[in-house]
Copies of this chain bind each other. A is one copy, B any other.
Amino acid sequence: MSKRRLKFWGWGYEDQTLSEIQARQIAERISALTGLSPEGYVPPPKLSEIELSTPRLTPPCALESICSTSAYDRAAHTYGKSYPDYIRAYERDFSTAPDIVAFPETENQIIQLLDWADGAGAAVIPFGCGSTVVGGIEPVVGGGFRGALTIDMRRMAKVLEIDPTARAARIQAGALGPDLERQLKPSGLTLRHFPQSFEFSTLGGWIATRSGGHFATLYNHIDDLVESLRMIAPAGTVESRRLPGSGAGPSPDRLMIGSEGSLGIITEAWMRLHQKPTFRASSAARFTSFETATKAVRAIAQAGLWPSNCRLVDAEETKLAGAGDGSFHMVVLGFESSDHPVDAWMDRALECVRDLGGEFDTAGERDTTADAWRKAFITAPFKREGLISCGLMHDTFETSITWERLADFHVKVKTATEEVIQRTTGKPGHVSCRFTHAYTDGCAPYFTLHAQPTPGQEVCQWTEIKTAASDMLMREGGTITHHHAVGRDHMPWYSGQQPALIGDALAAVKDRLDPKGMLNPGVIVPLR
């Protein structure tokens, strides 16, 4: 475990906290770009300012050494990293803190923890690194429990085996992105799963939440990289076979993938790896029309070229990222291979761009516009606390939709979000969009919103905005989430999106694997 301590209230390590000056600079920059007016400054919370309730549970003696009831640990496991999480942390409200946080080092300890929780009447929250933006780990578990035990998996973080022939590795679920890659590095292999949360999320978290990663096409979700899984449920341990492919009944892995800690705790997985790429080509194309840019992404996604990067960033978001002046929409393109030069691939993709009137500079190993956007992408979550300190709302939501419905869908969702911001906050907001992933049959639009909420009414106003945007996603046939997961925040819409009988079926599965319903209650399977 690193000696650097994670912020208990926000993104990143404590030493990455913004100063007031930095926060104001970020807010002013966004203000200049969006027309919003930052107001005041609220410093992030200090641990000494937090009042936590007395733990309702006492760890058992046998497990005491791996359990903590310290204020830091309890506070750091209260929230994820959503906008309302920040607001409540800034309000010094940690009333939903878990009673105990456990850090198991072995599967056997997990089994003991589950046994103990069963007897103690505790709810159990499986926890990776807490980067959820959908309330996935907040111990809001209904009235049926005597308290909440959070199981933090980060001490189970080893790469246990590497198979260079099949290019696969057996990896413990608690491994953070950088640590996992560091352990793989000597083999020349890489998982190449780089969600925005890469530094602050774990393999187990990615699998449990169907994380979307590096690849804009083809292997979009972590789902496809899973060769087999091991999961501990209250009813016992589940382990699937290592198989490159199978046709033996409904996929057992696909039942566990996306279960968000509601069926069991994923402890390890055999993951499909890639050879480290040595050939690269990158470019950024510019389009004056958003619709034409979407056509280019569609053409490339349907061409069978499978670029690793093929992301449309609209003019507003390009400007926000410092990669443009707002006069063009950008399509970031990248190809990579460990096996062969990718020129033929990039040439054809750029032909698609040219056919649709897009402009681009000659493709190189790296592209500066694409680089600027990438940097903005990685640093965005860090900057968020600056905006929030200065009274601005910043949030993102994402979905997917088939191509033929996209144009109309995009306008409706963007407009509905702008309208609800105006109606709720009384001030115009700013809504931008990019596509994070592209498929042959559609794409994953990702919306970013900035608004200026009324001080003291942030959570309430955010809820109204979130509700209106989510209602529109559902009404127009999208998914409530493409890769942010369901958590507690998305449950009302997820329950509507899921065919009712599939909801019943998942409840039945939970009854078998987690008969007391103690695992992440209220997530995926509604509270009864």
Contacts and interface: CB of A to CB of B under 8 A. Distances in A.
Interface of A: 163, 165-168, 209-212, 218, 220-221, 223, 227, 233, 235-252, 254-260, 272, 274-275, 298, 302-306, 337-340, 344-345, 348, 400-404, 437, 439-444, 477-486, 490, 494, 497-502, 504-509, 511-513, 524
A318 to B, nearest CB: 23
A231 B459 CA distance: 40
Contacts of A505: 255, 508-509, 512-513
Given A238-B499, A402-B163, A404-B165, A251 B247 contact: no
Nearest to A509: B505
14 contacts: A165-B404, A167-B403, A211-B247, A240-B499, A244-B440, A245-B442, A248-B485, A249-B498, A304-B338, A304-B339, A340-B344, A501-B512, A504-B513, A505-B512
B241 A497 contact: yes
B252 A258 contact: no
Contacts of A218: 218
A494 B248 contact: yes
B250 A484 contact: no
Given A233-B501, A244-B443, A245-B221, A303 B339 contact: yes
Contacts of A236: 500-501
B498 A248 contact: yes
Contact of A402 (B242, B344, B401, B509): B242
A241 to B, nearest CB: 6
Contacts of A221: 245, 247
Contacts of A512: 501, 504-505, 507-508
B509 A243 contact: no
A481 B251 CA distance: 12
A198 B515 CA distance: 44
A267 B91 CA distance: 53
Q: Which of A211, A250, A481 has the most CB of B within 10 A?
A: A250
A470 B276 CA distance: 37
A252 B501 CA distance: 10
Contacts of A255: 250, 254-255, 502, 505
Contacts of A256: 250
Given A441-B272, A497-B241, A501-B236, A247 B303 contact: no
A249 B509 CA distance: 13
Contacts of A248: 210, 258, 479-481, 485-486, 490, 494, 497-498
Nearest to A398: B247
B247 A275 contact: no
Given A167-B440, A340-B348, A512-B504, A482 B235 contact: no
Contact of A168 (B227, B247, B402, B437): B402
A243 B400 contact: yes
Nearest to A439: B244
Contacts of A507: 512
Given A233-B501, A440-B272, A441-B166, A247 B402 contact: no
A441 B168 contact: yes
A163 to B, nearest CB: 5
A439 B233 CA distance: 30
Contacts of A168: 402, 441
Contacts of A223: 251
B244 A303 contact: no
Given A211-B247, A244-B442, A245-B444, 10 more contacts: A168-B441, A227-B441, A240-B499, A243-B402, A245-B400, A248-B258, A255-B502, A275-B302, A303-B337, A306-B306
